[in-house]
Amino acid sequence: MKIFRATIVFLLCLISLTLLSSAWPGPPEEYKQAYLLIKDADRLIRGYQLEPAVKKYHRALDILDKISNSNPGWNRLGIKKKAAHCAEYLWGRSPDLVGSGRGLYGQKIEFSFIDVGQGDSTLVECPNGQNILIDGGKRNAGARVVKYLKGRGIRKIDLMIATHPDADHVGGLPAVINNFPVEKFMDPGKPHTTSYYDDLLTLVRDKKIFYELGRQGNEYNFGEVKLKILSPPDALFESPNNCSVVTEFQYGDIKFLLTGDAAKESELRMLNKGRLSRCQILKAGHHGSRHSTGEYFLLPVKPEVAIISCGKDNAFGHPKREVLDRLDAVDCDFYRTDERGTIRVEADRYIYKVFLEKKPPKENPHAERKRLESEKTNINVAHLDQLIELPRIGPSKGQAIIDYREEHGSFKCIADIVNVSGIGPKTFERLQDWITVKVGKASKPRRVASIKKKKPTGKKKEAEDRLSYLKPTVAAYRFPEITREELEMKPKEEKVEVNLLNNNDYFQRVNQLFNEAKESIYIVMFVMNSGKKKRGQVNKLMKSLVEARKRGVRVRVILDKPMKEGGFEGEANEKSYQKLEKAGIEVEYDYPKIKTHDKLMVVDGKYTVIGSHNWTEAALTEQNEVSILIKSEAIAKDYLKYFYQLHDQTERFTKMGW
C-alpha cells in the first residue's frame, strides 16, 4: 500500500539522519514547512483522501532530504526525534493501521476510556508510573474495570476521582478499592443521600484513604504531567451533574479535557472565568447529552478528537445527533465506546495516537432509520432524567408529563402530549420526531400504601407530653433559600456602604438587623456563649434570632467545634447549639479538625457584619472590639458562598463519620 511504502521511505530517511554530526547552528526554516506538510497529510488521511496525503507526505520527505544534504551540521538527534514523531503519528492514525500497537517515540501518557456501557470510567497511566482512575461505571461494571486494570498491570491507584455521585459513575469504585490499594480519593463534596454513595464513602474511611475535595484552581504534578481542576467552584451548583469534577491533563504540548457530566451552566462558568483553552482530546460531557458540549464550549476548546462513553441502545438516546453535529462543525473526530469498545489514547509530549478495540460498524442502508427509532423516548414509561433530554422540555414540563400520566393513565398517541400543561402545538412540532408511545408496556410507578399511626396512650403519651416543649411549632419560611446558581449570577452595579461598629455599637446595630430581617440570617461564629445572664446581650441577640425564626425568616448558624472535648469554648457552643436547635433554628458544627475562627453574619442577602466580636458578654460589654457593617449584595453573595463551602465540608465529613 502507498501509505505503508511512504512510511518505510520515511523511516529509512530517519536511519540516514543518525549519521549526521551532533553540531548544529539552529533549526532550518524548511523544517517547519515539512512539519506542516506532514500535519496536512494526516488530516487528509483522516478524511480518507489517500492520494493527496501521499503527495504531501513525499514533499515533506524531499524537504527533509534537502535539509540533511545542505546542513550536515544540523542536530541529528533533534531532526530524528521530530521526524520520528511525525512518522509514528501518521502510522498510528492511518485508517488501515489504527490500533496497530506500534509505540510512540519516548515516554508516553496513556488514557483508557473503558467500555462500561452507559457510564464512565477512565484510567490514566502517567509516564512516571503513577495511575489515576476517574469514575468506575455502574456497580455491575466494577468487575470489568478491575479486570481491565489488572490486564494493564496496574498495582496501585495513586488518585481516584469520583466526578459526582451518580450511580453510573461511582457504582464500580468499591470493587476497585477492594482489589487495589488507593492512595487518595477525591470528589466534589456534593451532599448526596443515596445508600450506594454512603457505602463508598464508608469504604474510603474504613480503608483510611486520604480524602480531598476537588475544587477549581487545585493543581497537581504527576512527574511531567500537570493536572488542573477546572470545576466545580467553592459554591457548588444545585445540580449534581454541574458539580462534576472537571479535569485538564497536560503533557508537553498535548492536553486532555475530561468533563464528567458537566452541563451548560458549568461549561458557561468555566468559559466566563477564562479557564477553557484548546485541547487535543476531549471526553464529551454527559455521554453525549444535548445539555453538554455546547457550541460556546467547543469554540475555545477546539478538540481534535472527542471520546463519547455511552451504552449500546441506551434509554437516553445518547449520544444526541445535535452533539455529533456540533463536533462535526469544529472538525472534530469522535469515537464512541458503544461502537468501538474501550478506546485508548497514547501521547508523548508532541503527538498522540488513538487505538480502537473494535472495527467500525458495517454500513447499513437502514441504520439511520433504526438509530432515530432507538433515540425516541417512550413518554409512557420515561422518568424525569429521560424527559428533560427532549427538546424544549425542562424539569417543570418533564414533571408535568409524569403528573399527567399518573392522573390520566397512558398516552394513546404522541399527539396527546399537547394536553399536558405548558406544552402547546409548537412544542409538539419540535417533539414529534423524538417521542413515541407503547401503550402495552406503559406502567405507573408503585405507590406506597399509607400507614395510619396509632395515637400513643398511657405512659407513652405522658412521656411525649413532657417532651413536647422540645418540638416547637415553627413558622414556614417566608422566602425560598437562595440557590447556588443565584449566587453565581452577576449582581447589579451598586453603591457600597460601610459602617464601623465599635464596642457596644455592634450589639445595637446587629439586634436591629435581626428585628428588621425579612428573608434570611446566616451566621458563622467562633464562640457563642449565652452565659448565666438571662438579660445579657448574648441572650438578647439569641432571643431576636428566635423571634425572627418565628416570623418565617430562614436562620442558619454554623458554630466552631473544638478538636478536644470540654473547655470553655466547647461547653459554651454546646449550650447555645441546644437552645437554637430547640427553637427550630438550623444549626450545625463545622468540621472539627479545622478551627473556624470567623465572626460573620449575612442578613437578607445584602447586609454583612464581620470583625472581631465573638458572642460573649466580655466581647460585647467589656473588651475593645471592632467590626464593620457592609451594605452590598455583591459582597453578601461572596460571604454566602463561603457559608455554603463550610456547610458542604461539614456535611461531607459528618456523613463519613470523621
Over residues 506-552, the pLDDT tens digits come to 999 999 999 999 889 999 999 998 776 778 899 999 999 999 988 88
| Opening angle at CA 130, ends 124 and 132, nearest 5 | 35
| Domain co-membership, 237 together with 349 | yes
pLDDT at residue 138 is higher than 60: yes
Peptide bond into 232 cis (omega under 30): yes
588 part of a folded domain: yes
| Domain co-membership, 152 together with 293 | yes
564 part of a folded domain: yes
Cα gap 562→528, rounded to integer Å: 13
Cα gap 514→502, rounded to integer Å: 18
| Domain co-membership, 241 together with 136 | yes
In terms of Cα–Cα distance, which of 304, 302, 340 is closest to 319? 340
Cα gap 510→420, rounded to integer Å: 49
Element (H, E) at 80: helix 76-93
| Domain co-membership, 60 together with 180 | no
| Domain co-membership, 85 together with 118 | no
Supply the pLDDT for residue 559: 92
Mean residue pLDDT of the chain comes to 79
pLDDT at residue 194 is higher than 80: no
Count CA atoms closer than 13 A to 215's CA, side-chain side.
11
Sign of the alpha-carbon torsion through 43, 45, 48, 54: positive
Give me the percent of the chain exceeding a pLDDT of 70: 72
CATH number at residue 390: 1.10.150.320
Supply the pLDDT for residue 421: 86
* Predicted model pTM: 0.51
| Extended beta strands in 195-318, E state | 210-213, 219-222, 225-231, 246-251, 254-258, 281-283, 305-308
| 292 and 270 Cβ atoms separated by less than 8 Å | no
Task: Out of 85, 105, 125, pick the residue that ends a domain.
Answer: 105
Supply the pLDDT for residue 426: 76
- What is the SS3 assignment for 62? helix
| Domain co-membership, 97 together with 123 | no
| Domain co-membership, 410 together with 308 | no
| 345 and 111 Cβ atoms separated by less than 8 Å | yes
| Domain co-membership, 306 together with 390 | no
Supply the pLDDT for residue 641: 86
Mean pLDDT, rounded, for 81-110: 48
Question: What's the alpha-carbon Rg for the chain, to the nearest Å?
Answer: 31
Any idea which of 101-115, 448-462, 473-487 has the lowest mean pLDDT? 448-462
Regarding predicted confidence, which is higher, 220 or 189?
220
| 42 and 305 Cβ atoms separated by less than 8 Å | no
79 part of a folded domain: yes
pLDDT one-digit tens code per residue, 64-87: 666 655 554 444 444 544 455 455
Q: Which domain holds residue 378?
A: 373-436
| Domain co-membership, 90 together with 161 | no
Q: For the chain, how many structural domains are there in total?
A: 4
C-alpha cell read off for 285: 460531557
Distances (CA, A) of 238 to 147, 518, 557, 587: 35, 24, 21, 21
Supply the pLDDT for residue 564: 61
| Domain co-membership, 570 together with 615 | yes
